[in-house]
Structure 1
Amino acid sequence: MGMSVTISAAGAQDAEQILKLQYLCYQSEAELYGDYSIEPLTQTLDGLRAELSTGYALVARLGDEVVASVRGSVDASGTGRIGKLIVHPRMQGHGLGGRLLDAIEAHFAAELAAKRFRLFTGHRSESNLRLYLRHGYAAVGREPVSARLSLITLEKDAAAQEFAASA
């Protein structure tokens, strides 16, 4: 008998599992850019707990195991800032990242009146870029961080998410 993945709001009790998953998932990003000092790999448990207490996060569980997560917040201008979308390597390629992205967008639009969504990823993170473009995001900026890394900022209107949900 197989288990299905469930998505729910994350709580403080999930912080340790999220941090361990984050560390695992960002190893490939660090290798891609040759930089193991990136923030997702240096974030502390206390830092993550503080982030969870001020924003919103979702987790995907397979049984009791957190296998994916996403988090963010909505600012005063109505921009839903989405970050740290992570999926366990063994669970990638099955649509889980897209499900989490859709779920946090829906929450931000319905509960927090988000007007637009914004996220970023590294310029060499091709699978991330493909996912975001497939979900209606468009690149709106590029910021050099180092000689090896530029961050691509992507956005979409919340109305585009509502249209996709009703289609």
Structure 2
Amino acid sequence: MTEIKIREAVAAEIPTLHRLIESAYRGEASRAGWTTEADLLDGQRTDPEDLAGILADPEQALLSAWRGEELVGCVLIADRGEGTGYFGMLSVSPTLQGGGLGRRLVEAAHRALAERFGARRVRISVFPQRETLISWYERLGYHMTGATLPFPYGDPRFGLPKRDDLHFVVMEHELV
């Protein structure tokens, strides 16, 4: 197997990043992995304009994982101020999920958040219906904060909800 290299994504890669993210979260292709949101949402997970905005913002970045010339994973990192970092949009090619790449991307996100933004803690937001994913994050050292965030109903840029009880729980991990 070709070695995986993780590096910061660039704007020329937006179409490839977009395809990967959509395949990891939405539609039938996402069901090949265990992180699909296809039972919760239809529509898009993100769009090229959103990805361009992330890459243009000095307080955010997308880390990308490459196996040779093939994009196999990515993760959004962002500075939330006061020593707090955030990561989201963790995406691994559905047929490669379960092989440790997601964990490697989370570890790379932690390092980048600490080095680039001086983060001492990392927050993430997860649908509470994603119990298997929450358990995975707990095994990585994340804990529930008790905080919740609303789902942006009415904004199709974030997907088309299949249910009316969507929101996010906030989890946090202290960086050492």
**Is TM > 0.5 for Structure 1 vs Structure 2?**
yes
Give structure 2 stretches of 5+ with no counterpart. Answer: 31-35, 152-162
After superposition, the CA RMSD in angstroms is 1.8
Give 1:44 shift: 2.4
CA contact (8 A) 2:63 2:77 kept: no
Q: Which residue of 1 aligns with 2:174?
A: 157
In structure 2, distance between residues paired with 1:137 and 1:32: 24
Q: How does 1:3-152 map to 2 (within 5 A)?
A: 3-27=2-26, 28=30, 29-33=36-40, 35-37=41-43, 41=44, 43-54=46-57, 55-140=60-145, 141-143=147-149, 145=151, 147-152=164-169
- Identical aligned pairs, as a percentage? 27
Unaligned runs of 5+ in 1: 160-167
Q: Is the 1:80–1:117 contact (alpha carbons within 8 Å) kept by the matching residues of 2?
A: yes
Equivalent residues of 1:117, 1:155 under 8 A apart = yes
Contact 1:32-1:124 within 8 A present in 2 as well: no
Structure 1 residue runs of 4 or more that deviate by more than 6 Å after TM superposition: none
For 1:58-92, what per-residue CA distance to the aligned partner results, in whole angstroms no more than 9, with x for missing partners? 11111111111001211222210111001111110
**How many correspondences in the alignment?**
154
Q: Per the alignment, in what secondary structure is the counterpart of residue 129 of structure 2?
A: coil
Q: Show the counterpart of 1:163.
A: none
CA distance in 1, matches of 2:109, 2:22: 21
Q: Which amino acid letter does the alignment assign opposite residue 157 of structure 1? A: E
Partner Cα separation in structure 2 for residue 44 and residue 144 of structure 1: 20
Question: Counterparts of 1:116 and 1:18 in 2: how far apart (Å)?
Answer: 26
Counterpart-to-counterpart distance in 2, 1:9 and 1:144: 29
Contact map agreement 2:125 2:168 (CA 8 A) in 1: yes
TM-score, normalisation: structure 2: 0.80
TM-score after normalising by structure 1: 0.83
Greater mean alpha carbon deviation, residues 8-17 or residues 61-70: 8-17
Larger RCO (CA under 8 A, 6+ residues apart): 2
How far is the alpha carbon of 1:107 from its aligned partner?
A: 1.3
